[in-house]
Structure 1
């Protein structure tokens, strides 16, 4: 036993640990004592969560406000060759653009540091990363994407008092999410799928462009709050109508499941098939449809997509047969703004990153989410002398007064909105994504865009106002 004890202490000392005066072992006091990609946890240097470590914004000001982001950039946590989700990458670019603008000299009362983690579409990984951001990085707010991942993150952030803002979590489930605080901590700039689902169903039921549609296929993502949320809204709206609907679920990134779903739907011979899922799944489903009897345009079939498929990767040259097959197809997505705020954002985004943000869903919503956190920082700092998630959320309740001419969220106008909030006065704000009139549930109901595939572009057909429940 004595020899074993000496060996254990020697091993720890060789690993870089030291004996504390209290008789315990200590390797670090703060994460600054540890190496790259390590954090100090209970006085030991341990690896930080996979996917974390990227930092944007101010990295030198010790007084900077710490904000986190958990975003699904990689398509796989284990296979680097799977690539990245281009819509999410552009969403991050929109956040970075807003962050750089907020950190310009004289723009805000406090600089902002953004700690970014790549979730790779894994809800469990998202929760672990969020826990690390809350406990180790002491974030006061978190930016999220996607419904399932936002719900996983919120289970960590809400009890900790961390404001959580999503630009693309659209599941109706978020509306009823309790955070047990006087001022809600869970917000989103994207409209609920309760709105998008009603728009899709109304188009198929009542719009002259879909008069010939009698049989509707619905391929939807199963075991996912986003897929299930849209499935429930669409089918409930269509129930009892003259339309014949055949819903078929599939599992995310499961090729056998998706192939079986296509084969199961083919005998139904739908006039149109609505795909509720992400771009990579939509590409696979369309490609497999080419090998069926009825699920191809040559047989008179049409495709219709939800917002997550609006991604330039659906139309790229890697899958020319898919791009040909989806020509003329329609889809929906939360509408981008149409005013000066969007035009200003679009111009600066193209100048900095290249692509047109209109070719992706939620880019303007991501940009607005960062700007809203900036307004929350300004309000919290002015009202309490410190920045907390609860005070930032309180500030967000004051940007939807409904009685003032809206202030457009652009770099030149941000100071005006921040000053009004700092002075205790409510404002109305118009973002790049459109009106940000938040309701009591922390949501900003907004129009839904009907789009169409033309060549290598997604062309806006019209913006449809939120329909009644």
Structure 2
């Protein structure tokens, strides 16, 4: 019915007729002529997609380069849902990069970032992506999370829109067809594949008894969220623990995000009783799991049970809950490592100055910052080579940020952006090290990166090592 209704509206406009107020529609020139919850679409004020904002962040210039941002700032699209603090800070990191880029411009133009809060819903994110692609005509979309990125890519890739994720880690992105008939893929990410993190976690379980009270785990439970991220990472860990000479008995347990965790913890506790449980889930669920586990005989720390956490648990929101924090304290986890060069130092200092928070307290903040900068470099290259911004040209630029002839890398800082843009415009490849580390993209649009080992401290997360690699 909606499609028929819109077809009728467009037919009236094409015929040059004015719409009457009885139809409940107002004509407009721009979204400023509409109400705050509406957007001007084909000269008609129509409702905004749920979670989306009418006015962009960054530039409001008529010739601004249009990009989209789909961020899961809340744990659900339902009213009253709690904030996802980790992705809130990822969004802040992207906004910081956007602000810095727009201080320099892309050949006289700036970037407008049209924003939607996905509420952590794949279905909502796909609908919002359709609005960004069809109505706002964006050249690129910045996304978060594996499930949402895979869903959004089904919309963006056929439209020739570049998709960049800062936190999607599922191995499914590696094999997804994304060229849309062209020579270069349109799906990229600054977050490393879970093939790396999963291998590191399995290796630590096998070889680092010091992380587990001096004893190699005799039985490992893998508790994971039921989505492509949780499925992929749990499969990798379980497979690697079950092969080779140093096998460790293990069993996987799934839960639905935002669901009652009592049944799955009943099963984990009473039917399996692991000595170590790997928790693959997001901060809100991790908090609920740790609280409930404190009441279970075999899962509370007082019984000698150990937790090991994946990247998405590295979120200050977990530590804000006193009981959850007490159950997590002293245990370890992994995440993509932060950079170690000037790019990370500059980003960290500016992020702290602007938001009064340590970006290293959250996973993927530096990845979000780098992702926004890479999209800006892609847009600059596209403008310089074709006088337009297209997803295909932006992707072509990204193939050139790991092809410099120099053995040294250029730090992706605000002060180096103009130089890097000029090098790309001149047809010269560059090697870039971002705030998240070296951005050495391969043919699949992925940048391999080391993994950090972190520990839950008394008041935050402490980095133990930042250069872990999968075993050869």
**Equivalent residue number for residue 96 of structure 1:** 95
Structure 1: runs of 5 or more not aligned = 1-11
**Equivalent residue number for residue 347 of structure 1:** 349
**Equivalent residue number for residue 15 of structure 2:** 22
Contact persistence 2:185–2:395 (CA under 8 A): yes
Distance in 2, Cα, partners of 1:393 & 1:22: 39
Post-superposition CA distance 1:358-407 (Å, at most 9, x none): 10000000000000011101111111111111101100100001532211
**Equivalent residue number for residue 168 of structure 2:** 169
- Secondary structure of the residue aligned to 1:226 is helix
**Equivalent residue number for residue 71 of structure 1:** 71
**Equivalent residue number for residue 251 of structure 2:** 246
**Equivalent residue number for residue 414 of structure 2:** 411
Question: CA shift at 1:25, angstroms?
Answer: 6.1
**Equivalent residue number for residue 177 of structure 2:** 178
Question: CA shift at 1:43, angstroms?
Answer: 5.9
Contact persistence 1:400–1:426 (CA under 8 A): yes
Distance in 2, Cα, partners of 1:321 & 1:213: 25
**Equivalent residue number for residue 295 of structure 2:** 291
**Equivalent residue number for residue 205 of structure 1:** 206
Aligned residues, how many?
Answer: 449
CA 1:372–1:205: 2 relative to 1, 3 Å: same
Distance in 2, Cα, partners of 1:302 & 1:145: 29
1:446 pairs, out of 432, 445, 449, with 449
Distance in 1, Cα, partners of 2:161 & 2:10: 33
Question: CA shift at 1:108, angstroms?
Answer: 5.7
Distance in 2, Cα, partners of 1:344 & 1:454: 25
Question: CA shift at 1:41, angstroms?
Answer: 4.5
**Equivalent residue number for residue 275 of structure 1:** 279
Question: CA shift at 1:247, angstroms?
Answer: 1.2
Distance in 2, Cα, partners of 1:144 & 1:136: 18
1:433 pairs, out of 416, 432, 436, with 436
- Secondary structure of the residue aligned to 1:121 is coil
1:261 pairs, out of 239, 259, 264, with 264
* CA-atom RMSD in angstroms: 2.1
- Secondary structure of the residue aligned to 2:53 is strand
- Secondary structure of the residue aligned to 2:251 is strand
Question: CA shift at 1:109, angstroms?
Answer: 4.3
- Secondary structure of the residue aligned to 1:60 is coil
Distance in 2, Cα, partners of 1:247 & 1:352: 41
Post-superposition CA distance 1:302-358 (Å, at most 9, x none): 111101110001111xx2121111111100101111111101100000000011001
1:50 lines up with 2:50 in the alignment:
yes
1:330 pairs, out of 325, 329, 332, with 332
TM-score (norm 1): 0.91
Question: CA shift at 1:272, angstroms?
Answer: 0.9
Question: CA shift at 1:141, angstroms?
Answer: 0.5
- Secondary structure of the residue aligned to 2:427 is coil
Contact persistence 2:423–2:430 (CA under 8 A): yes
Contact persistence 1:31–1:38 (CA under 8 A): no
Question: CA shift at 1:58, angstroms?
Answer: 3.6
Distance in 2, Cα, partners of 1:291 & 1:190: 35
**Equivalent residue number for residue 9 of structure 1:** none
Contact persistence 1:169–1:190 (CA under 8 A): yes
